[in-house]
Amino acid sequence: MENFIEWISQPWPWYVAGPLLGLTVPILLLIGNRSFGVSSSLRHVCAACVPAKIPFFSYNWKAEAWNLFFVAGIVLGGVVAASVLSNPAEVIVAQSTQQDLRALGITRFENLLPSEIFTWDNLLTMKGLVFFVFGGFLVGFGTRYAGGCTSGHAIMGISNLQWPSVVATIFFMLGGFAMTHLLLPFLMRLSGF
């Protein structure tokens, strides 16, 4: 058992992890014609918990309850992975990436998160407002506008040869590149950041 824990806690190469992730699509389709995606689970939670008669939340959410168990499994798996299967070795970040981040003023990392941005101290600052609140709103708006999240479109939609998912994934990537290369340097230079 100890050898298994040690083996499973090691980083897996892309050619193993990628196909395993990709196999979730046919498995979900075979066991009940289900679609992979996480963003819809928030709608199901709101439909179950919000008693108001909001039309968007007025549907039979119990028919999609499997999705809530799926997301709960993701959260539970993350907790188990972080507490039992965590690899104590330091994560290696490429030197070129470290240089690019240093040019933006990002020099410290905690669990792969840049400490200059993602700390509890920044939560109630202008930086926190921009990165957490405004950024979170944009992610939520984009997910709703695109009709799904990155995992739903990129993994499920593209594998089902859905043209809207290809377009959405292209624009998710373009948005990420624009944020990284155009907006992030500007935001990091603003006063107070």
**Model confidence at 110: pLDDT above 70:** no
Q: Tell whether 74 and 38 lie within a shared domain.
A: yes
Share of the chain above pLDDT 70, in %: 95
154 and 121 in one domain?
A: yes
- Positive or negative, the CA dihedral 110, 116, 121, 123 is negative
139 or 170, greater pLDDT: 170
Sign of CA dihedral 103, 105, 108, 114: negative
Claim to verify: residue 114 and residue 50 sit in the same structural domain? no
**What does the pLDDT look like over 131-165, one tens digit per residue?**
888 888 888 888 888 888 887 888 888 888 889 98
pLDDT digits (tens, 9 = 90+) for 2-57: 787 777 777 788 898 888 888 888 888 888 887 777 778 888 888 888 777 888 88
Whole-number pLDDT of residue 192: 54
Average pLDDT of the chain is: 81
Query: Both 3 and 51 in a single domain?
Result: yes
Task: Give the residue numbers spanning the domain of 139.
Answer: 93-193
SS (H, E, C) the chain: CHHHHHHHCCCCCHHHHHHHHHCHHHHHHHCCCCCCCCCHHHHHHHHHHCCCCCHHHCCCHHHHHHHHHHHHHHHHHHHHHHHCCCCCCCCCCCHHHHHHHHHCCCCCEECCEECCCCCHHHCCCHHHHHHHHHHHHHHHHHHHHHCCCHHHHHHHHHHCCCHHHHHHHHHHHHHHHHHHHHHHHHHHHCCCC
Q: Are 81 and 102 contained in the same domain?
A: no
27 or 127, which is more confident: 27
* Higher pLDDT, residue 191 or 146: 146
